[in-house]
Amino acid sequence: MTRDMSYEAVMARRGEIMKKAIGIDYDVFESGSIAFDYERMMKETGYSLQEIEEIQKRTGVGNTPIIELRNLTKLARKFAPKGKGARIFIKDEACNPSGSFKARRAATSCYHAKKLGYKGVIAATSGNYGAAVASQAAMQGLKCIVVQECYDSRGVGQPEIIEKARACEAYGAEVVQLSVGPELFYTFLVLLEETGFFNASLYSPFGIAGVETLGYEISMQFREKEGRDPDAVVITNAGGGNLTGTARGLLKAGAIDTKIIGASVSLEGLHMASDTQFNRKSFTTGHTGFGIPFATWPDRSDVPRSAARPLRYIDRYVTVNQGSVFYMTELLAQIEGLERGPAGNTSLAAAFKLAQEMDEDQIIVVQETEYTGAGKHINPQLTFAKENGIEIIIGDPADEVPGKNIILPKDPSYVKTQELDLDRIRRSYIRNAINNMNVTEATQEDIEFLAKDTKSSIEFVKSILDELGVKY
């Protein structure tokens, strides 16, 4: 009998498809309500952190250098109060085989897929992860398909996304390019079902555990280099996996006092799934269009329960404007001699300002860099923005309106951060958990889970439940 391939039928089979494609039965972690056993799910990888380090080492992933940005630190101190201006360092993840930290995620997933006997892997991503999976799949002798949300309805694609498709194809992957909309996840599920390939999801325990080595390395390298852990690590935040994995790795190293700061490009007012607004943004990742929705409901991802849960670990969340990230990209190249891609420079822009609040003897780390090339460069991005009616201005970034203009700072003193209210984000997450799980009465297990999942307290969770009129 022919299987029903309608959108509704395929979406109804998503649990069955995912179970076959990733080798994990997510039902065993469930409580029947909001709560689930997160740590048990993370252990499902079957690999210790040290084993993952060995897996990554076999394909040249990890052990990337720490670089002190002395010139950028000097510049930050010029605009800081006396005695302020922390030392700024970067973890140069561009040294990984595919040019980004996502090689860590891909190495773990592709190794596991090979071990389980899958013939190929599939990833749904328009970003660096596709190139990372393609690269690691090639090393493992696996076939690779990357499903990419690429164009608007006019067939126009952003330079950065087109560049990433080129990188995926260069590593031998088949790239399925789609226009913006709900067909991405549908097509992804259909391909998983038809091919029987492994789901190399960004949000599986394998993907997040792969990033733990990054946080662990940061701690180990700083203890060797400086005799202590860094005071703060700034992490570009989109789907939450980068922050979650890095924070977990730092905790496994015992770096319990290191502050975890998330940073995103502010795209407030733009809708990521809007056909007309898709090409009116200049960043394809590391922005609030992913950062906020995934923080307030992680399980919107391509697995039943996401292993990326940023609110569990985040201490502070800030945004920067698009123009400041472009500016910082130029600054890094011209005063430090390092040309790196846009996403890592989101956290660098934030770190430049945050360093000015910290003491001179403190250390702030930008947790990753990425490769740059072709469409990822500043010029094609700004040219594309102009072609789509975006005004490019030099002035005060505080006046930037995403989708209307990009404002490059007049000088370094104009690079600013905007603080996000974490309690408001936590409140949104709890509300989404209640609504999406159709809960009318929360159990004690639910309350304890929500307190852990939001890095808050039982009292805080109960206060939100009271606001929502939910019994417990």
Separation of alpha carbons 292 and 34, rounded Å: 20
In-domain check, residue 2: no
Q: Are residues 134 and 251 in the same domain?
A: no
Q: Are residues 45 and 85 in the same domain?
A: no
On the question of pLDDT at 121 being above 90, the answer is yes
Beta strands at 418-419 and 174-179: parallel, antiparallel or unpaired? unpaired
Mean pLDDT over residues 424-452, rounded? 96
Q: Is 318 helix (H, G, I), strand (E, B) or coil?
A: strand
On the question of pLDDT at 19 being above 60, the answer is yes
Domain tally for the chain? Answer: 3
On the question of pLDDT at 276 being above 90, the answer is no
Mean pLDDT over residues 367-396, rounded? 92
Mean pLDDT of the chain: 94
Separation of alpha carbons 234 and 214, rounded Å: 13
pLDDT at 185: 83
pLDDT tens-digit series, residues 394-426: 999 999 999 999 999 999 999 999 999 999 999
Q: How confident is the model at residue 1 (pLDDT cuts 50, 70, 90)?
A: low
Among 178, 204, 230, the domain-final residue is 204
Q: Are residues 85 and 132 in the same domain?
A: no
Separation of alpha carbons 299 and 38, rounded Å: 12
Separation of alpha carbons 89 and 334, rounded Å: 16
In-domain check, residue 218: yes
Contact 243, 82 (CB under 8 A): no
Mean pLDDT over residues 208-226, rounded? 98
Contact 92, 67 (CB under 8 A): yes
pLDDT tens-digit series, residues 156-198: 888 888 888 899 999 999 999 988 877 888 899 999 999 999 9
Q: Are residues 320 and 299 in the same domain?
A: yes
Separation of alpha carbons 89 and 70, rounded Å: 8
* 262: its two tokens: 């998330």
Q: Are residues 184 and 228 in the same domain?
A: no
CA distances from residue 120 to 34, 142, 159 in whole angstroms, order as listed: 33, 5, 28
DSSP 37-51: -HHHHHHTT---HHH
Q: Is 179 helix (H, G, I), strand (E, B) or coil?
A: strand
Q: How confident is the model at residue 323 (pLDDT cuts 50, 70, 90)?
A: very high
Contact 230, 218 (CB under 8 A): yes
pLDDT at 376: 87
pLDDT at 158: 85
In-domain check, residue 1: no
Amino acid identity for residue 150 in this structure: C
Among 152, 181, 204, the domain-final residue is 204
Cβ neighbourhood burial of 182 (10 Å; 0-12, 13-18, 19+): exposed
CATH code of the domain covering residue 36? 3.40.50.1100
Q: Is 91 helix (H, G, I), strand (E, B) or coil?
A: strand
Cβ neighbourhood burial of 179 (10 Å; 0-12, 13-18, 19+): middle
Q: Are residues 166 and 292 in the same domain?
A: no
Q: Quote the pTM value.
A: 0.96
On the question of pLDDT at 244 being above 80, the answer is yes
pLDDT at 399: 96
On the question of pLDDT at 147 being above 60, the answer is yes
Q: Are residues 306 and 180 in the same domain?
A: no
Contact 126, 202 (CB under 8 A): no
Secondary element (H or E) of residue 320: strand 316-320
Residue 225 phi/psi, 5-degree rounding, is -80, -45
Q: Are residues 274 and 255 in the same domain?
A: yes
Mean pLDDT over residues 429-448, rounded? 96
On the question of pLDDT at 238 being above 90, the answer is yes
Q: Are residues 344 and 394 in the same domain?
A: yes
pLDDT at 161: 86
On the question of pLDDT at 272 being above 80, the answer is no
Mean pLDDT over residues 21-43, rounded? 94
Separation of alpha carbons 13 and 1, rounded Å: 16
In-domain check, residue 36: yes
Strand order in the sheet with 232-236: 66-68, 87-91, 363-366, 232-236, 259-265, 316-320, 418-419
pLDDT at 396: 97
Among 159, 185, 204, the domain-final residue is 204
Secondary element (H or E) of residue 120: strand 120-124
Q: How far is CA 268 from the centre of its chain?
A: 18
Q: Are residues 336 and 433 in the same domain?
A: no
Three-state SS across 419-472?
A: ECCHHHHHHHHHHHHHHHCCCCECCHHHHHHHHHHCCCCHHHHHHHHHHHCCEC
Mean pLDDT over residues 115-123, rounded? 97
In-domain check, residue 309: yes
In-domain check, residue 67: yes
Mean pLDDT over residues 22-44, rounded? 93
Separation of alpha carbons 259 and 460, rounded Å: 21
Percentage of the chain lying above the pLDDT 90 cut:
80
Nearest Cα to 51, choosing from 116, 142, 7, 112? 112
In-domain check, residue 331: yes
Q: Are residues 357 and 247 in the same domain?
A: yes
CA distances from residue 28 to 25, 208, 266, 304, 377 in whole angstroms, order as listed: 6, 19, 38, 12, 45
Q: Which domain holds residue 16?
A: 7-51+100-204
Mean pLDDT over residues 135-148, rounded? 97
Mean pLDDT over residues 68-81, rounded? 98
Q: Are residues 368 and 430 in the same domain?
A: no
pLDDT at 283: 87
